[in-house]
Amino acid sequence: MKRIAVVIAVLLSRTLAAQDSTQGNAAPPAAAPAPAPAAAASAATVSEAVVAKTVTDRVPQDTGTTFPADVGQVVCWTKLSGANGTTIHHVWFHGDTQVGDVALQVGGSPWRTWSRKTVPADWTGAWHVEVRDQEGKVLKRIDFTVGQ
């Protein structure tokens, strides 16, 4: 049995040597294939996004663009498509100052998610929240006002 294995190994090595085409006038070996392109950026899209006073049964309640100074907290509610398995961020701003960044895992498509932001009574004026993909690209911006 051992002798048969040696004979097969010798025959295979002769066959491979006979197929060597890199000598003589043979064409040069083909170039290595190009590397695969990097994965495409997130295809996440925001189909709906609102600022509201609260969320009940995954539905935003009392949505708006103006809230009283004593609102206490607001919610950014977002419905996404094409973001399954990624992370999005709700980045909160009072005026031009960033006051929060909430990372939210997306578990399906479509997917609804939200974050809450406490609003002190003396933080009146212009606010906005940006919905960003995991690379930091702004998918949606929602402007609102507190106390005016």
pLDDT of the residue at 142: 98
pLDDT of the residue at 43: 84
Closest CA to 142 of 68, 49, 69, 52: 49
pLDDT tens per residue, range 74-113? 999 999 999 999 999 999 999 999 999 999 999 999 999 9
Strand 138-146 to 66-67 pairing: parallel
Distance CA 55, CA 122 (A): 24
Distance CA 48, CA 136 (A): 19
pLDDT of the residue at 134: 93
Q: The dihedral of CA 88, 92, 95, 96: what is its sign?
A: negative
Task: Check residues 11 and 76 and name the one with the higher pLDDT.
Answer: 76
Q: The dihedral of CA 45, 50, 53, 57: what is its sign?
A: negative
pLDDT at position 53 over 80: yes
Q: How confident is the model at residue 59 (pLDDT cuts 50, 70, 90)?
A: very high
Q: How confident is the model at residue 130 (pLDDT cuts 50, 70, 90)?
A: very high
Arithmetic mean of pLDDT, 40-65: 90
First and final CA of the chain: distance in angstroms? 93
Closest CA to 80 of 116, 100, 56, 107: 107
> In the CATH hierarchy, which top-level class contains the domain 45-146?
mainly beta
Kindly state the percentage of the chain with pLDDT values over 90.
70
pLDDT of the residue at 4: 55
Domain ranges of the chain: 45-146
Whether residue 118 contacts residue 102, with contact meaning beta carbons closer than 8 Å, is answered with no
Distance CA 144, CA 129 (A): 8
Average pLDDT, the chain: 82
The angle formed by the CA atoms of residues 31, 34 and 38, to the nearest 5 degrees, is 170
Task: Check residues 42 and 131 and name the one with the higher pLDDT.
Answer: 131
